[in-house]
Structure 1
Amino acid sequence: MSWVFDEEVLAVLAAIAVIAIVFAVSQALYAGRVVEPFSELGLLGSSGKIGDYPRNVAMGLPFQLNIYVGNHEGKVMYYRVLVKVGDKSSIVNASTPLSTEPIMDVRVVLEHNSSRIIPINITLYEPMINARLVFEMWIYDEVAGVFKYHGRWNQLWINVTENAAPTSSQGHSRVLSLSPSIESKVAEAYAAVRRAEEAGGDIREMSTLLNSAIEAASRGDLYVAEKLLETVLSL
C-alpha cells in the first residue's frame, strides 16, 4: 500500500514536527525549574474553608480565622503574615501595604510546593463599623536581611460591637513579635536551611525544627526556641 502526500499535507506534518521538537526542547530546558514562581495567601473561615466568615464580633472576645499560605517559589521561603486593622479610607494594594501597626504577626517557613493552614485567634477591643481587617504577606530577603512586602493581601470587613462584659485589655490584640536576639537567630537558621537546600540536602527536618522554634518563641518559650535553633544550625 502506498501513501501519497500533497504539499499541503506535508506542510501540516512539518508544522506538527516543529511544534513537537520545540515542546520537547522546552521540557528538557525547564525540567526541575519553576518557570513562574509565586506564593499564595488565602483567608479561610473558622472551619478552615472559604466562606463562613464572621460579620459581627463582640468587642474583647476572640474569634477564629485560618490563614492559608502556599509556596511555589522554587525554594524554601520564610513568610510573615501581618494582620492590620483599617477602615474604608485605608489604602492597601499590591504595591503598598497598609500604613498602620500590625495587631498580629504570623510566621512560617515553607518548602517549595508546600502549604499550610494556620489557625489564629483575633481579639478586637474597640467598637467599629465596617472595620477593614487586612492580612499582608511579607517574605524574608536573605540578601538584604529584612522582610519585604510581597504584594499579596486579603481583607475581611467586620463590625465590632460593644460587649457588656468588662474586658481586661485596651487596644487591639497584642502583636506576637520576636525579640531582636531570637529574630537574628531565626534568620541565621533560615540561611542554614537555604544553604542545605542549595547543596541538594534533605531540609525537611530542618524546616520542621525551625517552625517549631518560631512557634515556641511566639508564645514566649525562649529557652525551647533557642535549643531548637541550635539543633537546626548543627544539622
Structure 2
Amino acid sequence: MRLALVPAAIALLAAVLLQPAAGSRGAVAALDQKIGALVHDASLLYSRGANVTSIVQLLDEAVKRINRGDYSGAEAAVASAASTVEALKAGVRGIYLRMVVRRYGLAAAALALAPAAYILIPRVYLYLWFRARRGWIVSTRPAGRSRSSLIMDEEVFAVIMAVIVVASVFTAAMILRPRSIEPFTALGLLNEECKIGYYPAEAYPGENLTLCIFVDNHMGEPIYYKVVYKVGNGSTLPSNTTPSPEPPLMEWRGVLGDGGNTTFRVVVPVEPPRGLMGQRVALIFELWVYDPGKGGWVYTGRWNHLYLKLVSPG
C-alpha cells in the first residue's frame, strides 16, 4: 500500500515545486503581455524592412530571465527592447521608402534591358564586325561559291530579342510580386546529445531525463513561443488542433526571429498519471505562441512525444 502511494506522492511534490506562486504568476502574465506587444511591434517593423535582430535578442534574453525566475532582470531587458523599438519606429519610414525605391528601381532596370538590347546589340555587333574585317581586301566572289556573311541575320536577332524580353519581364515580375511563403513552425525532440535517435526506452517514476528541444520559425515574422511539457499516455496525446488535457509540468520560453531556430537542453521529471506502472507513458512536448490580439497563448498544433516503459526503481 505504501509503495502504491509513492508515485502519487512524487507527482504531488512535483506539482507543488513546479507551480509558481501567485505573485510570480502575475509577474509572468504582465511580462507576457509586454513581450507579446513588443514582438508584434517588431513584426510590423520587420515587414517595413527594418532590421529587428537586436529587438529579438533583447526579448529572448528577457524570456530566458523569466525561465530562471529573474523577473527584475527580465523587466530591464524588456525596457531596453522597448527603447529600441521606439528608436526604429522613428526611422522606419525612411527605411521603408529606401526599400520601395530599391525594389522598383531593380524592376525598372530589368524592364529596361529589352529596349537597351534592341538599340545596342546591332551597333555593338557591327562595330565588332568592322574591327574584325577592316583590313580585309574586297574581291569578287567566284561563281558557284555559297554566300556567307557575319552580318547578323534578322531572324537570329528576333530570337535573341524574344529571349531578352521574356527574361526581363519575368525578372521584373519576380521582384515586384508580394512575398508569398507558407508560414510554419517546427518542433523537434532530440536525445541528450541533441541528436536524432538513441532515446531512452524506460524510466522509473520520479526519474529525471535529459533531452534536447529544437524550435524553428518560418512564420515570416518574429514569434514569442513556449514549449510545454506534460506526461500522459496514448489516450491523452495532443492532436494538430487540440493540446493534451494533461496538466503542464514545465515550460520553456523564447523569442525567435523569422528564419531563426534554437536547440536547448532540458531536464524533465517522469511524473506519470497513477496506475501506469509497467505500462507505457508518453512524455509530451507542445509548441505554443503568444497572440497579442487574443491576449494569451495559442496552441500551434506542433507537438512531439516520447514513449517510455515505467519500471520500478533499482
TM-score range, shorter chain: 0.5 to 0.7
Partner letter of residue 37 of structure 1?
P
- Does 2:214 align with 1:68? yes
Deviation track 1:40-80 (CA, whole Å, cap 9, x = no partner) reads: 21111100111121111232221100110112222221101
Match of 2:287 in 1: 137
Deviation, structure 1 residue 34: 6.1
Match of 2:308 in 1: 158
Q: Which has the higher strand share?
A: 1
Match of 1:22 in 2: 170
Asked which structure has the greater CA Rg, the reply is: 2
Match of 2:253 in 1: 107
TM-score by length of 2: 0.45
User: Could you tell me the percent identity over the aligned residues?
Assistant: 32
Partner letter of residue 85 of structure 1?
V
Gaps of 5+ in 1: 165-235
Aligned length: 159
Deviation track 1:21-47 (CA, whole Å, cap 9, x = no partner) reads: 2353133334xx462222121111100
Distance 1:130 1:27, change over 3 A: farther
Distance 1:114 1:4, change over 3 A: same
Match of 1:78 in 2: 224
Partner letter of residue 138 of structure 1?
W
**1:1-235 map, 5 Å:** 1=150, 2-3=152-153, 5=155, 17-18=165-166, 21-30=169-178, 33=179, 35-126=181-272, 127-164=277-314
CA distance in 2: counterparts of 1:43 and 1:34, whole angstroms: 29
CA RMSD of aligned residues (A): 2.6
CA distance in 1: counterparts of 2:257 and 2:188, whole angstroms: 18
CA distance in 2: counterparts of 1:156 and 1:19, whole angstroms: 51
Q: Are 1:45 and 1:51, in contact at CA under 8 Å, matched by a contact in 2?
A: yes
Distance 1:113 1:163, change over 3 A: same
Q: Are 2:236 and 2:246, in contact at CA under 8 Å, matched by a contact in 1?
A: no
